[in-house]
Amino acid sequence: MGWAVGDGRQINAWNDPWLSTSRLAKPMGPQPEHSSELKVADLLCSETQEWNMAKINQEFPFNAEAILSIKPSKLGAPDKLFWLHTKDGVYTTKTGYAAAVEFRDEQEEDKPLKHLNSNKGVWSLKTAPKVQLLLWKTLRGALPVGEALLHQHINIDPLCKRCGELESITHLLFKCDFADKVWEETPLVRRFDRRGLIDLEATWMGLIENPCLPPVGIVDGQLAPWIIWAIWTARNNLIFNNKICSPKDVITKAIVAAKEWLNAQNKEGSKAKIPRAQITVPSHSSIIQTDAAWNDATKNSGIGWIIKQTGETLSFQGSAKLVSSPLVAEALAMHEAVKKSKELGLQQVIFQSDSAQLIKALNSMVEPTELYGIVADIRISCLHFEFSTFCWIPREKNSEDDRLAKQALCIVSGGTTT
Ligand SMILES: [Zn+2]
């Protein structure tokens, strides 16, 4: 759990080693009875997903600042368990043993899907994190398709751009003629009935684990998740860029991406890094450079980013309060830059930062606990781009952003910078 979304777990700051309260001081004295049932969701405003100041001040007056410095996901990132005794939140037996001595063991309850273990069906699949996120959103009914936007009263054409039927998730990914043709021609071992598909969760494992036929060459991973990803990408391309592609194009794109990712895993061992040499960068990509300045005393941060497109450079500035570390400040800068790029309708984007730690977090499966909500939102936002990548650049190449960030910090701090 990452203080990420309105989540069903209780806040057991008193005895729970799995809670992401790494910077929260242990409360003193016994746990008040009325707060024993308190959940993270109770501290968030249900509409905005922002922290509820009044409630925090009432329940955790001494930890308010530490809680407010945790930046929860606003785009509905899944809850995630963090092990408090390591920096990246990943469990190790050594720290587990130490904690077991110190804490009593408490059973964790995951928030399950109705018919499906989301760990098995999504998170432990051998596929890219961006694909896992997409699958998770698909299963949760959280993809922003026409039907969902209609329910949210968002004024947008809710119909499928290909056939004119209401665009639901199952329509888009399986039932639409276009999707049907994609699945029909995808080289999978088992046929499955797409038109009759009613309960996606119930049929999920059979669909996702459907092995790929030789000679495609995807042996130790699955192709189906990448097909879903490619159908989604093709849909966005059609809506936002008027780009038309055939079912064959979708399948090719899925196979290429799947093989590229699997090859990278085999080369890099278990770490999910994308080797730079393997990425084919589209020639018209916009370059976005971000930077942040942070003041340890005030916990204020100034952020700056520039967007370089053919012939023009746009500069932006912003600020954030209650920022717990320079790394969080860098991540917030990146998040703002990603949001702005999406707003400007950019499609091919290269994001650069001089924070090696941030770039590493964005390119791997595991991020430091304090970045979870922000990095998850960045990944979700990046699903909108046709192409996006994150690269590290040396500090001297980032001087313009550095200046913007420091200037922004100066404004927010009333004149002091670090
Ligand atoms: Zn359709």
First-last CA distance in the chain: 33
C-alpha of residue 175 to centroid of ligand 1, in Å? 7
Ligand 1 centre from 231 Cα, in Å? 12
Extract long-range pairs of 13-17: CB within 8 Å, 24+ residues apart: 13/60, 13/63, 15/103, 15/104, 15/106, 16/103, 16/106, 17/83, 17/84, 17/85, 17/99, 17/102, 17/103, 17/106
| Centre of ligand 1 from the C-alpha of residue 118, in Å | 27
For the residues 280-299, what does the mean pLDDT come to? 86
**Banded pLDDT at 69 (limits 50, 70, 90):** confident
pTM assigned to the model: 0.49
Spacing, Cα 86 to ligand 1 middle (Å): 47
Looking at this protein, which amino acid is placed at residue 178? Answer: F
* Residue 108 scores a pLDDT above 60: no
Q: How far is the CA of 167 from the centre of ligand 1 (A)?
A: 7
Dist CA 166 CA 173 (whole Å): 13
Backbone angles phi, psi at 32, to 5 degrees: -65, 145
pLDDT at position 177 is 95
Is residue 333 within 8 Å of residue 290, measured between CB atoms? yes
User: Is residue 61 pLDDT above 80, yes or no?
Assistant: no
| pLDDT tens, position by position, 126-135 | 899 889 989 9
Strands of 178-330 (E only): list them: 286-294, 301-309, 312-320
Rounded to the nearest whole angstrom, what is the distance from the C-alpha of residue 166 to the centroid of ligand 1?
Answer: 8
* Domains of the chain with CATH codes: 1-111 (no CATH), 118-278 (no CATH), 286-413 (3.30.420.10)
Q: In the β-sheet with 312-320, what is the strand arrangement from edge to edge? A: 312-320, 301-309, 286-294, 348-353, 387-392
Report which listed range, 175-184, 185-194, 210-219, 390-399, is most confident. Answer: 175-184
* pLDDT above 80 for 91: no
| pLDDT at 123 exceeding the cut of 90 | no
Instruction: Give the Å distance between the CA of 163 and the centre of ligand 1.
Output: 4
Q: Which long-range contacts (CB under 8 A, 24 or more apart) does 11-17 make?
A: 11/35, 11/38, 11/39, 11/40, 11/43, 12/106, 13/60, 13/63, 15/103, 15/104, 15/106, 16/103, 16/106, 17/83, 17/84, 17/85, 17/99, 17/102, 17/103, 17/106
DSSP one-letter code for 26: P
The predicted structure's pLDDT at residue 272: 46
Two tokens at 156? Answer: 């947008």
Per-position b or e across 97-134, b if 16+ CB within 10 A of its CB: eebeeeeeeeeeeeeeeeebebeebbbebebbbbbbbb
Closest CA to 289 of 257, 313, 264: 313
CA 207 to ligand 1 center in whole angstroms? 20
pLDDT above 80 for 16: no
Distance of CA 386 from the midpoint of ligand 1 (Å): 21
- What is the Å distance from ligand 1's center to 208 Cα? 22
Distance (angstroms) between ligand 1 centre and the Cα of 318 equals 41
Q: What pLDDT is attached to residue 118?
A: 74
Q: What is the pLDDT of residues 228-271, one digit of tens each?
A: 999 999 999 999 899 999 999 999 999 999 999 988 887 765 54
User: Residue 190 Cα, ligand 1 centroid: separation in angstroms?
Assistant: 23
Q: What is the mean pLDDT of the chain?
A: 79
How far away, in angstroms, is 293 Cα from ligand 1 center?
47
Residue 10 burial (C-beta neighbours within 10 Å; 0-12, 13-18, 19+): middle
pLDDT greater at residue 214 or residue 137: 137
Residue-wise pLDDT for 354-403, tens only, equals 898 899 888 876 778 888 889 888 988 888 888 888 888 888 877 877 88
Query: How far, in Å, from the CA of 416 to the mean position of ligand 1?
Result: 56
